[in-house]
Structure formats: C-alpha cells, structure tokens
Homo-oligomer: A and B are copies of this chain.
Amino acid sequence: MEKSFSEIKELLIRKGLKATHQRIVIYHLLFNSFEHPTAELLFDKLKINNPSISLGTVYKTLDTFVQTGLAEKVLSETGSDRYDANLSSHHHIYYTDTKEIVDFYDSELQDLIIAFLNKKSIPNLKIKDFKIQIHGEKIDMVENQIN
C-alpha cells in the first residue's frame, strides 16, 4: 500500500498541484502514518531528513491537501488539529485513556447507516457525508456492552 515518491508526484500533478519536494515528503509521511498526526508531529519527523522545511509550510500544505481532497482533518477535542490521508470510508475510535485515534472500518455499519439516512430524509438537508467517533478505553479482556 506504500506509495513511492514518483507515484505521489503523479498524484499531485493529477490534482493540479505543483509537485514540490515539500508536498511529496509531507504526503508520503502522512500517508504512511496511522496515528492521525498533528502538523507539529509531522514537522518534527520531517525535519530529520528535511532540515530546512518550515512549520508554516507543513500547515499550508496540509490545508492544500484538505482543499484538494488528498487528506481530511480528524476532529479532536483536545489541542491541535489532526490529519488523515486515508480516504477510504472509515470512522474513528478515540481511546480516552491513551489519547490514540484508531481507524475503524465496518462496511456493515456503514451500509446500515447509509440505508437509514436515505430512508429517513432530513428536511432541507443535502447530506454530503457523516462521521462517527467511538469513545472508549483500552481494556485487557474482550468485552463490550453499552447502554
């Protein structure tokens, strides 16, 4: 699933973006991150191999990615914005104890909700998409029961 620099370069050009070194390395790192990183975290990691990259560029580039549909912001209650280049339809588990945000895929749930919303029809609303956050904590045993 890892994308090479040349694949990323093509992707950027396809989106009408200039394929700069900064955009390539930022996208590469974000795409291969599964932690939904902040701009600052990406910046700190990028600096190692790109010592002259600037934090402003990381912010601006992430915003460009969001505008062009190459990435999404992941909602967070605490602190800074987090980003995700995983565009496959998925939701997020928020571990309240460890602060991790972990991808949650479930096509059955996805279909269930889409079917429900299509059936339901909310007056005066054209739905574009929906996002679910599941909040909980890490446990040792396999167990879960809500409500």
Contacts and interface: CB of A to CB of B under 8 A. Distances in A.
Contact of A124 (B96, B109, B123, B140): B140
A124 B138 contact: yes
Contacts of A113: 109, 112-113, 132
A122 B77 CA distance: 23
* Size bin of chain A's contact surface: 35 or more
Nearest to A139: B126
A142 interface: yes
Contacts of A124: 138-140, 142
A140 B126 CA distance: 9
A127 B142 CA distance: 11
A118 B139 contact: no
A126 B127 CA distance: 30
Nearest to A143: B126
A127 B120 contact: no
A130 interface: yes
Given A122-B104, A144-B125, A133 B131 contact: yes
Contacts of A130: 132-135
Nearest to A140: B124
17 contacts: A73-B77, A75-B76, A93-B122, A96-B128, A104-B122, A109-B113, A109-B116, A109-B120, A113-B113, A113-B132, A125-B144, A126-B136, A126-B137, A126-B139, A126-B144, A127-B144, A127-B146
